[in-house]
């Protein structure tokens, strides 16, 4: 059995294999509510044969959205809309389903990427005032965010906890806490964005304080035995920014609090970043976290080929691999990987007849007659 297709235990969650569909923003919600697009998009990916599907960054408040079209989990309407989508997925797929909870911080109030991705001024009809650790904009020419005071910090913590309780009611199998890609929790971690002089800024311990408080609040609000893990940017790719050694300290602190895994990405907090792109360019960061802390890790970033993904897991560089763009391009990537590597994968009965003759044992339990 290829390592990529061996079962994986993530806290109390049993997964069929080590392929994760990474969270991918769709910018297609209405007032935070999932739409028919999400039903089609997630339903499609749920039939992929992957072990775990992680929903896109879902804002814990309206102010925490990246764009006006972001998915949210901060209202009863949001919860009801997601319930409809999740019910359809559960009815037709055994895939594990998690949700990524997020707050955009100073990167909020922005256009969708296909509309330029630029900041929407706070005074515009569809814009809002952003918040951050410090009153320091993400990019030159953008409006400065408001620095969160004690009351604001408490509200954000409460918003994350409330979203986690909604996720529990919906029956999600796990929560990924978004502390990467330059969004609010990453902004607290990085000295490039966090210029506070109180207990939440300055030293590494102080900069980790608020993200750890949020993790504690989410962990306490979600059922024991169901995993909560964190997505991190292992480096800002900017001198003087967040770095791999800081990531190890953060991972160790999370481990002590019951974090189930670390999903290791990079970058996003500064336009000055210089990222050396290449196949698997972020994998060494995941490997180091795994080796130093012993925490399970999920590797992501230009992992596109089945043999590449198999090698990452087989060599112990990470416990699982997450695919984003590659999965959008080929939503049946796990099927094709299983065929190439000589493994088996779950597929819906309605698709059993698509099994190639040369891979007649590809689909687990597939058998049918023909009239």
The span from the CA of 37 to the CA of 35, in Å, is: 5
Q: Look up 27 and say whether it is catalytic.
A: no
Cβ atoms 131, 105 nearer than 8 A: yes
Rounded CA Rg of the chain: 20
Residue 283 to residue 302: CA distance in whole angstroms: 9
Give the number of other CB atoms < 10 A from CB of residue 288: 19
Q: What's the rounded Cα separation, in Å, for the pair 194 and 134? A: 6
Alpha carbons within 13 angstroms on the beta-carbon side of residue 57 total 29
Of 27, 74, 183, 200, the catalytic one is 183
**11 Cβ contact partners less than 8 Å away, ≥ 6 residues apart:** 174, 225, 226, 227, 228, 260
| CB contact burial 50-87 (16+ within 10 A = b; e otherwise) | bbbbbbbbbbbbbbbbbbbbbbbbbbeebbebbeebbe
CA distance 250 to 51: 27
Cα–Cα distance, 320 to 5 (Å, whole number): 10
Helix, strand, coil percentages, rounded to 5, for the chain: 40, 15, 45
Active site residues: 183
């Amino acid at each position: 059995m290829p390592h990529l297709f061996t079962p994986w235990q993530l806290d109390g969650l049993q997964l069929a294999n080590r392929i994760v569909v990474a969270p991918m923003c769709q910018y297609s919600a209405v007032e935070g509510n999932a739409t028919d697009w999400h039903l089609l998009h997630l339903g499609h990916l749920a039939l992929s044969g992957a072990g775990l599907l992680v929903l896109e960054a879902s804002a814990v408040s309206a102010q925490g959205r990246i764009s006006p079209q972001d998915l949210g989990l901060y209202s009863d309407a949001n919860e009801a809309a997601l319930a409809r989508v999740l019910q359809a997925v559960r009815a037709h797929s055994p895939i594990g389903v998690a949700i990524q909870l997020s707050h955009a911080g100073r990167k909020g109030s922005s256009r969708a990427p296909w509309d330029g991705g630029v900041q929407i001024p706070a005074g515009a009809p569809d814009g809002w005032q952003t918040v951050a650790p410090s009153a320091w904009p993400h990019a030159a020419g953008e409006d400065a965010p408001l620095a969160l005071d004690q009351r604001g910090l408490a509200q954000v913590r409460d918003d994350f906890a409330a979203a986690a309780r909604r996720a529990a009611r919906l029956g999600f199998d796990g929560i990924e806490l978004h502390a990467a890609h330059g969004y609010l929790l990453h902004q607290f971690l990085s000295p490039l964005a966090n210029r506070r002089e109180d207990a939440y800024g300055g030293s590494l311990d102080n900069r980790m304080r608020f993200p750890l408080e949020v993790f504690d609040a989410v962990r306490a609000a979600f059922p024991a035995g169901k995993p909560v893990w964190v997505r991190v940017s292992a480096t800002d790719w900017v001198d003087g920014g967040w770095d791999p050694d800081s990531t190890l300290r953060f991972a160790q602190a999370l481990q002590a609090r019951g974090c189930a895994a670390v999903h290791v990405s990079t970058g996003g907090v500064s336009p000055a970043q210089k990222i050396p792109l290449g196949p698997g360019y972020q994998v060494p960061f995941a490997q180091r976290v795994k080796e130093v802390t012993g925490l399970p890790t999920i590797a992501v970033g230009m992992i596109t080929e089945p043999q590449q993904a198999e090698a990452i897991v087989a060599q112990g560089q990470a416990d699982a691999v997450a695919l984003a763009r590659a999965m959008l391009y080929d939503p049946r990537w796990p099927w094709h990987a299983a065929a190439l590597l000589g493994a088996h994968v779950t597929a819906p009965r309605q698709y059993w007849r698509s099994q190639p003759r040369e891979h007649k044992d590809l689909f687990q339990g597939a058998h049918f007659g023909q009239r």
